[in-house]
């Protein structure tokens, strides 16, 4: 594709479409790495060309450990995306990252296993050792923070995302370990997506939406799925305002 995508958005749990897209068209993209989670929707917001992909599929049919992260990232790159904002539902560990908080993390620790995590993992591919010291693009992170401020949305700047395997939630002991390791958030979809974006030299940043306290955190005794979805719905409602402000620049 010759047309440049001004911004690609990967929607996580609770975000299955991009509100306000005009002239939207759905694109089926087949890649050498397989099929993406869903059709990619391309449309416009004002004069900006936007691509949107639901990471779990429109009906949330793809579990975190079964997402074809390589196909998703490759397809967006193929369609012309060079900047990607990933929206991820997470659990909060740090005291200022409780339910409904919106966080722009700056670090990540990968606890996943068995996922196809590199474009090098195909016959004949060049082996690349990309610098992943700072997994999120500093420039795009800064733009998200400015956009949130313009939109009047409170966000937490920085934090470490611990990426776990899923789809089950974590034990109290596992969260205690993540806390000792320096994790402030826990989610299931942050990796290998961020590393794959780096391999393709995409600008990539994360909007982490806190759906619940992680196990053993806060004052909750048990994690309630209805509460998770209520918190996530409230946090997700703020995403279009942030992205609209980002696109207005």
173 vs 178: CA distance, rounded Å: 9
Cα distance between the two ends of the chain = 24
Q: Is 164 marked as binding a ligand?
A: no
185 vs 83: CA distance, rounded Å: 23
Token readout for 213 is 């306290």
Q: Is 55 marked as binding a ligand?
A: yes
88 vs 18: CA distance, rounded Å: 14
* Per-residue CA distances from 18 to 12, 43, 56, 223, 239 (Å): 11, 9, 14, 28, 10
Q: Is 27 marked as binding a ligand?
A: no
Q: Is 188 marked as binding a ligand?
A: yes
Q: Is 56 marked as binding a ligand?
A: yes
Q: Is 31 marked as binding a ligand?
A: no
Q: Is 213 marked as binding a ligand?
A: yes
- 50 secondary structure, DSSP code: E
Q: Is 13 marked as binding a ligand?
A: yes
- Cβ neighbours, 10 Å, residue 60: 13
DSSP calls for 118-155: -TTSSTTPPP-----SS-S-HHHHHHHHHHHHHHT---
Cross-strand bridge partners of residue 138: none
Cross-strand bridge partners of residue 156: 103
Q: Which residues of 226-247 are buried (b: 16+ CB within 10 A; e: fewer)?
A: eebbebbeebbebbeebbbbbb
Binding-site residues for phosphate sit at 13, 55-56, 189
Q: What residues form the annotated binding site?
A: 13, 55-56, 188-189, 212-214
Residues making up the annotated binding site for substrate are: 188, 212-214
């Amino acid at each position: 594709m010759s047309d440049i995508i001004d911004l690609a958005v990967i929607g996580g749990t609770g975000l299955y479409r991009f509100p306000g897209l005009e002239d939207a068209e759905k694109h089926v993209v087949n890649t050498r790495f397989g099929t993406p989670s869903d059709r990619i929707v391309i449309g416009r917001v004002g004069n900006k060309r936007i691509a949107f992909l639901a990471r779990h599929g429109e009906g949330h049919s793809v579990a975190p450990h079964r997402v074809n992260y390589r196909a998703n990232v490759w397809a967006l790159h193929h369609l012309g995306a060079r900047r990607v904002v990933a929206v991820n539902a997470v659990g909060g560990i740090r005291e200022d990252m409780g339910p409904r908080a919106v966080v722009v993390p700056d670090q990540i620790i990968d606890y996943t296993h068995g996922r196809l995590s590199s474009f090098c993992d195909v016959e004949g591919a060049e082996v690349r050792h990309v610098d992943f010291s700072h997994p999120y693009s500093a420039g795009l992170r800064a733009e998200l923070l400015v956009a949130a401020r313009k939109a009047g949305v409170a966000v937490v700047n920085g934090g470490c995302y611990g990426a776990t395997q899923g789809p089950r939630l974590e034990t109290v002991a596992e969260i205690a370990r993540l806390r000792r390791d320096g994790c402030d958030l826990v989610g299931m979809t942050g990796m290998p997506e961020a590393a794959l974006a780096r391999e393709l030299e995409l600008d990539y940043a994360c909007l982490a939406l806190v759906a619940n306290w992680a196990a053993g955190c806060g004052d909750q005794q048990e994690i309630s799925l209805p509460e998770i979805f209520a918190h996530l719905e409230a946090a997700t409602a703020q995403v279009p305002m942030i992205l609209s402000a980002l696109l207005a620049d």
